[in-house]
Structures are given as structure tokens and as C-alpha cells.
Amino acid sequence: MTIESATDYLLSLGSNLGDRTLHLQKAIAGIEGLVGTAVLSCSDVYETDPVGFLEQPAFLNLAVSIRSVLSPKELLVSLLGIETAMGRVRDIRYGPRIIDVDILLCGTEVVADPPLLIIPHPRMHERAFVLTPLAQIAPDAVHPQLGATVSMMLETVAGREGVRWHSTLFQNDCERTES
């Protein structure tokens, strides 16, 4: 299968421990290194207040558009591998993390293989820290279950005040070709 006939995915990346920018860069490099996967674009980076578990540092978040020959399950396993290789520890739900990579959308596909693989991401429409960067690179992407575009969801989501523009660090680094 060629990369042109592969599936488009939208991802959310976040980090709030250590050198957050470096962790995002390493995660993107890991994604670029996946067989048959190309990073198409990245949003600006946003600093965001924590959600859920509040006693932790602020996050840096961004959205990434990729095209991959990997199935949703293969992509999830690969992304979890990147997180693990970077030292991700899952001990506190919504707690601090070196890196977090979530699959938000897989075209218009709905995938339900709980507990780990649920696409669209079950809480993406409730999270300003996900929708704000996502609206930069995919404002017209449609949530297949809600029928709303990313832009429409962003207009009504709570918590937008906790999302602050941080940098355009990744704009040029994320315009890649097939790996």
C-alpha cells in the first residue's frame, strides 16, 4: 500500500514534565519514524491548564495530522510504544506525563475496541486543549458521531480560557514526506 492510499489520522500530543518542547519533538520524530507513516502538518504549540488532576504543571499541547498505512490498532500499539520508550508512566489518571499521544480521528471511521482504542476520542469534544490546536490544522474535520466540525465544537467547548498560544516551533518541522 502506498502512502497516498493510506488513512489520514488526527492526533493530539501533550507534555507537562521536564523539557516539554523536547518531549514533543521526540514524539513527532518517533511518529515520523513509523513505517509507512508521514507527518503532514502540526498546529502551533499551546500551553494549557491541567484538566482533571489539577495539582500538576501546565501542559504543552499540539495537534498533528498524519497519513499512515497502519490500521488504527497498529497505530495505537506504535504510539504506546513511543510513549513507553520516552518514559511515560501511567500511575495517576489525568496526572503528569512526559508525553501523551492520543488518536482523535481516523477519517470518518468509528472504531470501538475498548478500553484503549476508541475513535473518535471519547472526550475530544469536551476539551479546549485538544480542539484549539486541532482547529488550526483541521477546522472542517467532522466528528462522525456528533456530525459537528472541529470549528463548531471549539465554539461551544468550556475551558478555552485555559488554553494560551505558546509558539510556532513545529510549523516547518512538521511538513514532511513519506518515511
Q: Given this model, what pLDDT does residue 1 score?
A: 47
Which domains are seen in the chain, by residue range? 3-167 (3.30.70.560)
pLDDT higher than 60, residue 146: yes
pLDDT digits (tens, 9 = 90+) for 22-42: 999 999 999 999 999 999 999
Please give the full DSSP string across the chain, using - where no structure is assigned: --GGGSEEEEEEEEE-SSSHHHHHHHHHHHHHTSTTEEEEEE--EEEE---SS-SSPPEEEEEEEEEESS-HHHHHHHHHHHHHHTT----STT---S-EEEEEEETTB-EEETTTEEES-TTGGG-HHHHHHHHHH-TT-B-TTT--BHHHHHHH-TTGGGEEEEE-TTTTTT-----
Q: Given this model, what pLDDT does residue 144 score?
A: 96
Global pTM reads 0.90
Catalytic positions, please?
Answer: 88, 97, 100, 102
Range 135-156 average pLDDT: 96
Kindly indicate the confidence band of residue 174, based on its pLDDT and cuts at 50, 70 and 90. Answer: low
pLDDT higher than 80, residue 171: no
Q: Given this model, what pLDDT does residue 176 score?
A: 41
Higher pLDDT: 8 or 1? It is 8
pLDDT digits (tens, 9 = 90+) for 72-125: 999 999 999 999 999 888 777 777 899 999 999 999 999 998 878 999 999 999
Percentage of the chain with pLDDT > 90? 76
Q: Given this model, what pLDDT does residue 54 score?
A: 76
Q: Given this model, what pLDDT does residue 143 score?
A: 97
